[in-house]
Structure 1
Amino acid sequence: MKIAVIGGTGLIGSQVVKILNASGHEAVPHSPSTGLDLLSGKGLSEALTGADVVVNLTNSPTFDEASPAFFQTTMDNLLAAADDAGVGHAVILSIVGAELVPDLVYYRAKVLQEDILKAGPVPYSIVRATQFFEFMDATMSWTSDEHTVRLPATLIQPMASADVAQAVADVAVGAPLRGTRNVAGPEVFPLDELGRITLATRGDQRTVVTDNSAGLFAAASGDALIAKEDAVIFKTTYREFLAR
Structure 2
Amino acid sequence: MKIVVIGGTGLIGGKVVGRLRERGHKAVPAAPGTGVNTLTGEGLDAALAGAQVAVDVANSPSFEAAAVRDFFTTSTRNLLAAEAKAGVTHHVALSIVGVDDLPDNGYFQAKAAQERLIKQGPIPYSIIRATQFFEFVQGIADTATEGDTVRVPPVLFQPIAADDVAEAVAGTAVEASLKGTTEVAGPQLFRFDELVSRALRARNDPRKVVADPHARYFGSELSERSLVPAEGHARLATTRFEDWLRTSA
Q: Within 2, Cα distance between the matches of 1:66 and 1:205?
A: 34
- 1:240 aligned to 238, 243, 246, which one? 243
2:184 and 2:125 map into 1 onto residues whose CA distance is 17
Task: Tell me if structure 2 keeps the 8 A contact 1:96–1:130.
Answer: yes
C-alpha deviation, 1:3, in angstroms = 0.2
Q: Percent of pairs identical after alignment?
A: 48
Distance across 2 between alignment mates of 1:37 and 1:45: 11
**Correspondence for 2:56:** 56
Asked if structure 2 preserves the Cα contact closer than 8 Å seen for 1:95 and 1:129, the reply is yes
Alpha-carbon shift at residue 170 of structure 1 (Å): 0.5
Q: Which amino acid aligns with 1:41?
A: G
Deviations 1:146-169 (A, max 9, x none): 632222223211000000000000
DSSP-derived class of the 1:8 partner:
coil
Note the alpha carbon deviations across 1:203-239, whole angstroms, 9 max, x for none.
2222112233244275321212111222100111111
Partners of 1:145 and 1:70 in 2: how far apart? 30
- Give per-residue Cα distances to partners, 1:113-154, cap 9 Å, x unaligned: 111001101111101100000001110111225632222223
Report if aligned partners of 1:152, 1:217 keep a CA contact under 8 Å in 2: no
Cα deviation, 1:173-231, whole Å, max 9, x if unaligned, reads 00000001110001112211111111222222221122332442753212121112221
Displaced runs of 4+ in structure 1, greater than 6 A? none
Structure 2 letter corresponding to 1:73: T
- Partners of 1:33 and 1:27 in 2: how far apart? 16
Taking structure 2 as the reference length, the TM-score comes to 0.94
Q: Provide structure 1 residue ranges, at least 5 long, that are not aligned to the other structure.
A: none
Q: 1:209 to 1:233 in 2, by over 3 A?
A: same
Aligned partner of 1:227 in structure 2 is 229
Deviations 1:54-94 (A, max 9, x none): 00111122232322221111111000000000011110000
Counterpart for residue 7 of structure 1? 7
TM-score by length of 1: 0.96
Which residue in the other structure is 2:84 paired with? 83
Per-residue displacement from partner, 1:23-65 (whole Å, max 9, x unpaired)?
A: 1111010101001111000000011001010001111222323
Paired residues for 1:43-122 under 5 Å: 43-63=43-63, 64-122=65-123
Q: Distance in 2 between matches of 1:84 and 1:154?
A: 45
Provide the secondary structure at the position in 2 that maps to 1:170: helix
**Greater Cα shift, 226-235 or 6-15:** 226-235
Superposition RMSD in Å: 1.4
**CA distance, structure 2, for counterparts of residue 137 and residue 204 of structure 1:** 10
Are 1:162 and 2:163 counterparts? yes
Structure 1 distance, partners of 2:155, 2:98, is 13
How many angstroms apart in 2 are the aligned matches of 1:43 and 1:164?
27
